[in-house]
Amino acid sequence: MNGISSGLAAAASLGMSLTHRQHCQGVTFVTAHAQDHTEPDWGTLAATGTTLVIYMGMSRIDSLTAALLRHLPTHTPAAIVQWASTPQERRLVSTLAKLAGTSRAPGFGSPGIILVGDAVAEAEVPPIETRIRA
């Protein structure tokens, strides 16, 4: 049965708009790597100014955030939603510079959706804090 995309569920869980007018004019859904293990052109994606919704990135979070930090400010809002829209859902809101480190909280890992961009500043979860949805 088809359902809502986990990227959209993650944004809904955070109570944020992926295309908040004060922050961006679009959203880009992307996987962190192709089948041949190559990564997207993070510089080009960062330059779009859109909210990035990144699938399959938890195992590459260190290299992914390092690549994005070459093109985006360290204070860029970022978040992870693990198991979006399920009873086990966990959320973490941070900055791009701190995301890899804070994602090492006990139990965090795949499956997780990574969201990066100024629109993430509208998330309704306190920064650098994980919340388990009751």
pLDDT at 102: 79
Domain that holds residue 12: 6-132
Place of tokens 């007018």: 21
Rounded to whole angstroms, how far apart are CA atoms 18 and 30?
14
Segment 69-80, tens digit of pLDDT: 999 999 999 999
* Single pTM value for the model: 0.87
* Count of domains forming the chain: 1
- 3-7, 45-49, 67-71, 73-77 — which is least confidently predicted? 3-7
Q: Is residue 106 part of a domain?
A: yes
pLDDT at 48 over 80: yes
pLDDT at 128 over 50: no
CATH of residue 43: 3.30.950.10
Rounded to whole angstroms, how far apart are CA atoms 68 and 123?
20
Residue 119: phi and psi, rounded to 5, are -65, -25
Q: Is residue 26 part of a domain?
A: yes
3-state secondary structure 6-54: HHHHHHHHHCCCCCCCCCCCCEEEEECCCCCCCCCCHHHHHHCCCEEEE
